[in-house]
Chains A and B, each alone.
Chain A
Amino acid sequence: SAVISQKPSRDICQRGTSLTIQCQVDSQVTMMFWYRQQPGQSLTLIATANQGSEATYESGFVIDKFPISRPNLTFSTLTVSNMSPEDSSIYLCSVGQPGGTIYFGEGSWLTVV
């Protein structure tokens, strides 16, 4: 299994500001995934983060809005830039192995006011 820590767990942010979410894993993993869960909704994949290369973004998500870093095999950050109330969501990172269980961090609850 994998233990995933996310920071912050919760934050209230002002409109127009940016916030960086950290995701730390207790073992080395090739791929890390970032998801967004808007209030009352299901999870949507934002991007895939590979160490040593640019993140791959899903349709509807762009690097300028959600820049991602992946400096090593156990850590990644997601920044939510120029926030608006529509960005109020839970942001989650996940890891796993091909053909196996996928694990999620505890999530970062963002409220934009």
Chain B
Amino acid sequence: GIQVEQSPPDLILQEGANSTLRCNFSDSVNNLQWFHQNPWGQLINLFYIPSGTKQNGRLSATTVATERYSLLYISSSQTTDSGVYFCAGAMTTDSWGKLQFGAGTQVVVTP
């Protein structure tokens, strides 16, 4: 399978700070997604972003498919942004729904 590498593994931010999370794939993927897992375990889809740039409020994401990486930007962070951020994608030779997940970035936003 593909390897999905996320960096940094941990991030501590002061409220109001900006940050960038990175996701590298060892091979081309389909269906690239970013998720936020809150402290209660719920996994919320942030972006479906196979290529290009998308924005949703204070969050934005950019995928450069030809270079097999994706970035998630958090601006003006809030304590509610705390949790684990995962990127995931499906192998191009596999079913679209069979996602390979990275290890995640644990984000803690302090007041």
A interface vs B, CB < 8 Å?
Answer: 31, 33, 37, 41-45, 48, 58, 90, 92, 94-96, 98-104, 106-107, 109
B interface vs A, CB < 8 Å?
Answer: 30-31, 33, 35, 40-43, 45, 48, 50, 86, 88, 95-104
Cβ B95 vs Cβ A31 within 8 A: yes
Cβ A42 vs Cβ B102 within 8 A: yes
Cβ A107 vs Cβ B95 within 8 A: no
Which of A31, A48, A96, A102: most chain B Cβ within 10 A? A102
A99 vs B45: C-alpha distance when bound (angstroms)? 14
* A and B contact pairs by CB, cutoff 8 A, 25 listed: A31-B97, A41-B103, A42-B104, A43-B43, A44-B101, A45-B100, A48-B98, A94-B99, A95-B97, A96-B31, A96-B97, A98-B97, A99-B50, A101-B33, A101-B45, A102-B31, A102-B33, A102-B45, A102-B48, A103-B45, A104-B42, A104-B43, A106-B42, A107-B41, A107-B43
The minimal Cβ–Cβ distance linking A88 to chain B, given in whole angstroms, is: 13
Choose among A37, A48, A58 the residue that contacts B97 (Cβ–Cβ < 8 A): A48
Which of B86, B101, B102: most chain A Cβ within 10 A? B101
Chain B residues with CB under 8 Å of A96's CB are 31, 96-97
